[in-house]
Amino acid sequence: MRRILIGSIGSLFALTVGCSDDPAPADASTADVGVLDVGTDSGAADSGAADSGAADVPVALDVVDASAADVASDRPSTDASDGGAACSITRALVTTTDFMNGGYGLGPIAPTPSITVSGAMSPDQDHVPVESGCIVYNLLRSNDAIAVLDPGNLPSIARSIPLRMMGASDAGAPMPYSVNPYDVLTLSPTRAVVVQYALPRLGVIDPSRSGAAGVTGSVDLTPLRASADMDGSLEASNIVRVGGSIFVSLQNLNSYVPVTNGTLAVINASDLSLVDVDPAATGVQPVQLTGRNPVSMVTTPSGASIVVAEAGVVAFSPPQSLDGRIERVDPATRRVQGMSVSETALGGDLGGIVMLDESRGWAIVSRLAMGDAGAADNRVVEFNLATGTVGSTIVTAGSLAGIARDPSGNVWVLDRTPGSSGVRVFRPDGTALTTMTLSTGARPPYGVAFVP
């Protein structure tokens, strides 16, 4: 999730991790991605098999420049891997913060994970790295901007795109977190979709451009708003792509409290139109989740399933209860499938998750404590969605900020415990690859992305 309790408190782990779950553009050569300053791609429209058929009704939205040609050649089979032919993912980029200043660490994934602390400072103390389509982003959350980093000279900024716009729809003085970028998905070298937590719409950007010219459109999410959600935002938090469909998790909160079950917006990747998953019902229908407040969403390694962690009513908000769950969604049928794993079984409030195979994963959970769910007991716990059961505890710490699986299958855990902060790395069987935390210097880790 991310932090300083701005946005959803239930999302404390979901986006400190920029996992390599975003697809490399199928039409992007290694040279194109290295330069990043590429032209518009072209080709036949990508309708996507998952978005065809009578049951799916695309709904046109306010996309300013979403021409079919600009996303036409993007045909990744799933959103499960980013280490394809376009680039080789070999390093971990870690962002750090003490909530006064932000920094970075960078190091190899293999054969021995390590981190070298960078002397560079981030322009924002609340910053989260994301790698998507071989483009490395830094989400400058309180600055309401996205930095596109130079992969050949990390963490140097190649371009910066401000997301905060002043006008009739965003009136008033500029305020931190008025957009609050939470995630980003690259569709092509010249098009990416930005999840904007504080606004009822997604942003569309061109990561090859700098400044205001980098903002090229938006996708209106208001047709999916629940009637009881009156705060102006649907609290969009995570984004994944499976084939021709984009899925965006919506927390549906009002003053940090869920007003209805969580949902997933489904968007056609070819033209960025909303897909109505239930044409028989009135209005545009999203995927309906069983639980409330989705705080983390990933695909399984094959991309056959989307797995969602739902925190429900979090411990910071009364009543304190373990009402969340982990469940999977079939991206083809757009329905929850199979068994779920409850917060009661996990023993705490849910945070970030990773999937090690099609059924087995690890989750960060926080034990409930009076006034502070994270007081001296955060754990990584294994679970199995095939059996609906919980396994062993992998690690216990005072404060765990995030979790991510690297391309080799190893799991990186961000530990912010005072006095022992750093990064821990584990094999999928739970064996520690690091005998002690990998130091991130004076500031504890906050986010991680696996990068070229």
pLDDT at 223: 96
In the chain, the number of structural domains is 1
* Tokens of residue 237, six digits: 């938090």
pLDDT at 369: 57
Residue 3 lies in a domain: no
**Residue 6 pLDDT > 60, yes or no?**
no
Domain extent at residue 23:
9-451
Residues 250 and 289: their CA atoms lie apart, in Å, by 10
Pairing between strand 17-18 and 445-451? parallel
Of 69-78, 129-138, 198-207, 331-340, give the lowest mean pLDDT range. Answer: 69-78
**Residue 24 pLDDT > 70, yes or no?**
no
Residue 265 lies in a domain: yes
**Residue 353 pLDDT > 50, yes or no?**
yes
Question: What are the distances in angstroms from CA 190 to CA 25, 88, 215, 380, 452?
Answer: 10, 20, 11, 37, 19
Residue 56 lies in a domain: yes
Question: What are the distances in angstroms from CA 86 to CA 132, 280, 298?
Answer: 11, 41, 21
Supply the DSSP symbol for 122: B
Position 230 confidence tier, pLDDT thresholds 50, 70, 90? confident
pLDDT at 27: 35
HEC string for 341-368:
EEHHHHCCEEEEEEECCCCEEEEEEECC
Of 6-15, 80-89, 314-323, give the lowest mean pLDDT range. Answer: 6-15
Question: Mean pLDDT across the stretch 85-92?
Answer: 86
> Within 13 Å, how many C-alpha atoms sit on residue 180's CB side?
25
pLDDT at 166: 54
**Residue 335 pLDDT > 50, yes or no?**
yes
HEC string for 1-59:
CCCCCCCCHHHCCCCCEECCCCCCCCCCCHHHHHHCCCCCCCCCCCCCHHHCCCCCEEE
Residue in 65, 87, 73 with CA at minimum distance from that of residue 204: 65
Position 86 confidence tier, pLDDT thresholds 50, 70, 90? confident
What is the average pLDDT value for the chain, to the nearest integer? 82
Per-residue pLDDT tens over the stretch 145-177: 999 999 999 999 999 999 997 544 454 556 899
pLDDT at 442: 95
Residue 2 lies in a domain: no
**Looking at the DSSP assignment, which residues form a beta bridge with residue 184?**
194
pLDDT at 1: 33
pLDDT at 319: 54
CATH at 161:
2.130.10.10
**Residue 202 pLDDT > 80, yes or no?**
yes
**Residue 184 pLDDT > 70, yes or no?**
yes
Of 5-9, 49-53, 56-60, 140-144, give the lowest mean pLDDT range. Answer: 5-9
Of 35-49, 316-330, 331-345, give the lowest mean pLDDT range. Answer: 35-49
Residue 223 lies in a domain: yes
**Residue 227 pLDDT > 90, yes or no?**
no
Position 231 confidence tier, pLDDT thresholds 50, 70, 90? confident
Question: What are the distances in angstroms from CA 94 to CA 103, 157, 277, 331?
Answer: 8, 15, 37, 30
Per-residue pLDDT tens over the stretch 259-308: 999 999 999 999 999 999 999 999 999 999 999 999 999 999 999 999 99
Of 49-63, 126-140, 170-184, 366-380, give the lowest mean pLDDT range. Answer: 49-63
pLDDT at 334: 97
Residue in 358, 395, 450, 331 with CA at minimum distance from that of residue 83: 450
pTM surpassing 0.95? Answer: no
**Looking at the DSSP assignment, which residues form a beta bridge with residue 447?**
95
Residue in 295, 306, 302, 278 with CA at minimum distance from that of residue 402: 295
**Residue 30 pLDDT > 90, yes or no?**
no
Position 84 confidence tier, pLDDT thresholds 50, 70, 90? very low
Residue 368 lies in a domain: yes
Residue in 204, 115, 112 with CA at minimum distance from that of residue 155: 115
Residue 84 lies in a domain: yes
Residue 4 lies in a domain: no
Question: Mean pLDDT across the stretch 91-115?
Answer: 97
